Amino acid sequence: MKLIITFSLLLIVIFSSAQNKRFTYDYQFIPDSTNVSDVKNELMNLDVSESGSKFYSYTVYHSDSIAKIDMEKQLAATGAINIKSDMRKGLVRYSVTKKYPKYEVFLHNRILMDQYKVSEERPIVWKITSEKLKMGEWTAQKAEANFGGRHWYAWFTTDIPIQDGPYKFHGLPGLIVKLEDKTQSHRFTLQAVKNISSLPEDVFGAKEISVNSKQYNKLVKEYETDPTKGLQQMQMGGMTMIMKEGQNKHMKDQEERLKARMKKDNNRIELNKTK
């Protein structure tokens, strides 16, 4: 209780100027463990307000904003929308939100046409070490934790007294400025800090389905087993319309492409969804 009260007072001081903060991280990751030389990069934002935070891909948010404007112009001009294949950019399609001061954590992600809000029940148990490091203008201290089937090393700074960090990570006595797993497959490094007026909303305003981790993991497994199942059926007037035989080959080819792509995405940030 004392920790929560202290943190709340710190937030009041930090946000007394009515300015929210944006922390931008460089995210380096290796999607395919069989091809470690293929390292991807994406800029990620952690936007923090007095009531919580949102972690998301700058690249995805920016491209979605442009795509929405383009589609609105098309609809106004022609009454129809032509979705271009290069409209949506970015590799990290999920986002993570946290609600202060209890740090309720939610993963937001899409499976086919459905957007899900997944509650995270697993605590992150940190072991803080005595090791310190100077990172730019910040003095950082090292901590370790096991989460999602990986062993993580975090460097946090009490110079920024916000107990948050990239992805689902939080709970240290300061902001996490660097985070990487033991295999160095996933690494987040703080690049910039700025004031912002407000946290961004979902560009397309998708209605979310709230589920717990167990329910979501089941949905993911079903999708990965049969990725085209949702595309093979079209709901119309409460009746299920099955694709015609001439389209079956196209669906089969698409299924093979999706499964091949998922096979190369074998080194995800969470290898184990239960611990």
What tokens appear for 216 in the block?
Answer: 């979501």
| Whether residue 21 has pLDDT greater than 70 | yes
Mean pLDDT of the 59-85 span: 56
Mean pLDDT of the 166-172 span: 98
pLDDT score for 248: 59
Q: pLDDT tens, 63-74?
A: 655 544 454 454
pLDDT score for 213: 92
Q: Note the pTM of the prediction, 2 decimals.
A: 0.81
Q: How confident is the model at residue 82 (pLDDT cuts 50, 70, 90)?
A: low
| Whether residue 5 has pLDDT greater than 70 | no
Q: In this structure, which topology does domain 2-196 adopt according to CATH? A: outer membrane lipoprotein receptor (LolB), chain A (2.50.20)
The residue among 86 and 193 whose pLDDT is bigger is: 193
Could you tell me the residue ranges of all domains in the chain? 2-196
The torsion angle over the Cα atoms of residues 40, 57, 149 and 155, rounded to 10 degrees, is: 90
The residue among 162 and 252 whose pLDDT is bigger is: 162
- Classify residue 86 as exposed, middle or buried by CB count within 10 Å of its CB (0-12, 13-18, 19+): exposed
Q: pLDDT tens, 118-139?
A: 999 999 999 999 999 998 889 9
Alpha-carbon dihedral sign for residues 257, 263, 267, 270: positive
Least confident of 6-15, 29-38, 209-218, 224-233: 6-15
For residues 178 and 87, the answer to whether their CB atoms sit within 8 Å is no
Q: How confident is the model at residue 6 (pLDDT cuts 50, 70, 90)?
A: very low
pLDDT score for 241: 45
